[in-house]
Amino acid sequence: MVNKVCLCYFFYVYPLYLNLTFFTFYLVYQALNTVFLNFIVKKEFKNFFLAIIPYLLGWFIYFMYTNSDPIINFFEPLKLSFMSNYRRDADIYSLLQIYFLGDKGSILKYISIASIFLINSFILIRINRQSSDFLKMSLVLICPLVFFPHSNYDYVLLFPLACYSLLNFHMYLNKVNFFFVVYIFYFSRIIKHLLDIDWLYQPILMFLIILLIIVNTRVNKEVC
């Protein structure tokens, strides 16, 4: 609940037409880390600190109400990420846990998380070179689907890209974007169950989303 409240400031700093499009962002909290990281990458430190105020307030109320250790509570989300069952099979973090890290020490897991945030930062820098704010935020919201564990309902984060693509449907790439999102929304789970090879299908889906980001940032790159 606190995570969703944190997004209020995000909706305040962007234009109304974007807010109406990204209302689906309220449905999930997976993109919160990426949005915070995006503020840092864009050097919008004021927005970053204002956006984390609700989170810090919620943290303060929680440890005061439960009379628990504030330091332990603050790092509990990170501790959760180190649990062996905190993984899926369609994101970089989970694939690292499954095939490389497994039950190895926490140091390597810290390094893996730091590396993921670093790679995500480079992707965000690339995304923020785009000329369209609509496209930029659409691609920013996709990043959690690549880097962090998520559930099937988190693919709703693709919805803004579908809206952008439909508004600019005259471009061939946007046609590809739109029908790819339609496939994810309506056909992906059917195909996945028919094939019954999740260990292969899910990573392929992740790589297609990565390719989608790369192609969109290349074709739609702002002309300096």
pLDDT tens column, 150-167: 878 888 889 999 999 999
How many other CB atoms are found less than 10 A from the CB of residue 160?
A: 24
pLDDT confidence of residue 10? 46
Find, among 57, 35, 59, 55, the residue nearest to 47 by Cα.
Answer: 35
- For 169, residues 6+ apart whose C-beta sits below 8 A from its C-beta are 175, 178
Q: Which of 120-154 are b and which e, b meaning 16 or more Cβ less than 10 Å from the residue's Cβ?
A: beebbebbbebeeebbbbbbbbbbbbbbbbbeeeb
Report the pLDDT averaged over residues 196-206.
Answer: 89
Please check the confidence at residue 173 and state whether its pLDDT lies above 90. Answer: yes
pLDDT confidence of residue 22? 46
How many other CB atoms are found less than 10 A from the CB of residue 28?
A: 20
Name the residue with tokens 């952008």.
164
**pLDDT tens per residue across span 58-98:** 888 888 888 888 888 777 766 665 565 566 667 888 888 77
pLDDT confidence of residue 153? 80
Q: Predicted confidence band at 29 (pLDDT cuts at 50, 70, 90)? A: low
Cβ–Cβ under 8 Å, residues 146 and 23:
no
